Structure 1
């Protein structure tokens, strides 16, 4: 069993809790103008060169999140700390009044685009994922033995289903909250929306957790997300496809895709697959430290000859 040192844990925690929110914020900042332009023009007669800075901000944000995932090679503590940090956006998403308070308190302190990303649910598809990755790495360090082929193959099926169901439920919950707020001017607790957000987040966590038994389980979802994200450049394909979903879910899901959440999640999935493979190999080749059991020693000690 390979254990990280105290210094490695402390350093990775500091890096993760600072860099992860900043990276998500940069993605939201770069994606906000993209969301606005898409909503106004649907990319018809729009010069994509105008969005070079937006794309750059999104790319830097994604790279920062990938850096956080890579710290899992040295310690799982930083990733787990990000998972704890994810409780903040989760609670805010469950209680709409808290989101309004976040806009009020964050005005002048945080960029409004960061708060928009919070409203879109961007932190909920990134931060809990990083935290779950940390838990998986911690378990693998303790028990690096490979699982059976059945579990490995099953994970290739279960993970995409859980992740898809989680994103759809999360999007529906966020959309339901938004509709209630706009149509009924209610910013109180909406039980069905909160339940969808909570269950959706848990399903996403479960989908990532499947990698404990099937380390390549996130590869197929990552490739699918990259394809879907590329469809933003084909609005005549993406928009009709999203229109097939309920109204509550289609708008939040389109914003998550446009803001760059799908691309960021895909890169994280692929990066974590590489990290998990390396950590499992390290743990498997590190000799276990076995502490002798005092009960097995003869008592009183046998005198030496």
Structure 2
């Protein structure tokens, strides 16, 4: 087992709780411009026109990747981001709480839009679960076998797809409905969808402990789908065929760059997971002391007698042994013999 030092945990926690919200905010800041441009003009995207917002999103993705890379030194930072995920989950279940928080903290409108459309809700639980898996791998780095690897490789993409779809449905039913119609009442169906989608996403990431390459296929699919944003006439008519609750959320998430960010995080995490497992397997095991007086492959060795420690004191086996009988000397050998 190879455990992280206390200093590494503290540093990674500080890095993560700063970079993760800023990275998600940059995604939302650039994505807000993308969303209004694409939906307003309904034409193919001009990259030169949107170079600035695209640069903001690229920087946000780099910051999030940096958070994942800290998992090489310690899992604490990623787990801390998982704790931060409680806030967007809470806002998704209780939309009115976001208004009070926005007024109290003075969040930028771009960040508020990102929370409304679920950018941190999609990213932060993923990062937190990655940290938990890395912590488990550090303690038990042994592979789980080809059978579990195959199960994980199939189960992870399926769970992630259903989880994201359920999250999008819950956001569209609860958060977007509340802010579009200014009805802030809690909807139990939306709450259940958000919680269920989050649980499915968490399990989908957790099974990567069985199969470290399980996220490669979802990453490839996300990259392809998010690239179709450059062709809105192809992508959005297909998305609008989905239920209204999902079709009102998924296009915005893609334009916010959440799909590309998630794909890059999956690829980065796959590298980090392999690195952490290899380092944990190479770490020397803690030596185990043999039983007292016994070495491996040898007969028991008993402690020496007290007489060896205290010579001349009469202690030891000799002091308790019976006296050796003496016999008279042979005639003519003694001092008085003639």
1:76 alignment partner in structure 2: 75
Q: Is contact 1:94–1:197 with CA below 8 Å preserved after alignment?
A: yes
Higher relative contact order (CA 8 A, sep 6+): 1
1:66 alignment partner in structure 2: 65
- Cα distance in structure 2, aligned partners of 1:93 and 1:178: 6
- 1:181-192 aligned at under 5 Å gives the runs 181=178, 185-192=182-189
Q: Is contact 1:43–1:233 with CA below 8 Å preserved after alignment?
A: no
Superposed CA offset, 1:94-113 (max 9, x none): 10111222332243xx3210
Give the RMSD, CA atoms, in angstroms: 1.9
1:243 alignment partner in structure 2: 240
Structure 1 residue 199 corresponds to structure 2 residue 196: yes
Superposed CA offset, 1:25-73 (max 9, x none): 11111111001111111234x5431211101110000000000000000
- Kindly tell me the number of residue pairs found equivalent between the two proteins: 299
1:120 alignment partner in structure 2: 117
Q: Is contact 2:116–2:175 with CA below 8 Å preserved after alignment?
A: no
Structure 1 residue 12 corresponds to structure 2 residue 12: yes
SS at match of 2:2: coil
Task: Could you tell me which runs of 5 or more consecutive residues in structure 2 were left unpaired when the two chains were aligned.
Answer: 295-300, 306-338
TM-score using structure 1 length:
0.93
- 1:102-251 aligned at under 5 Å gives the runs 102-107=101-106, 110-178=107-175, 180-181=177-178, 185-251=182-248
1:255 alignment partner in structure 2: 252
Task: Could you tell me which runs of 5 or more consecutive residues in structure 1 were left unpaired when the two chains were aligned.
Answer: none
- Cα distance in structure 2, aligned partners of 1:130 and 1:180: 27
1:56 alignment partner in structure 2: 55
C-alpha displacement of 1:290: 4.3
C-alpha displacement of 1:241: 1.5
Q: Is contact 2:92–2:175 with CA below 8 Å preserved after alignment?
A: no
User: Which consecutive aligned stretches of 4+ in structure 1 deviate over 6 angstroms post-superposition?
Assistant: none
Classify 1:278/1:190 alpha carbon distance in 2 versus 1 (closer, same or farther; 3 Å).
same
Q: Is contact 1:132–1:208 with CA below 8 Å preserved after alignment?
A: yes
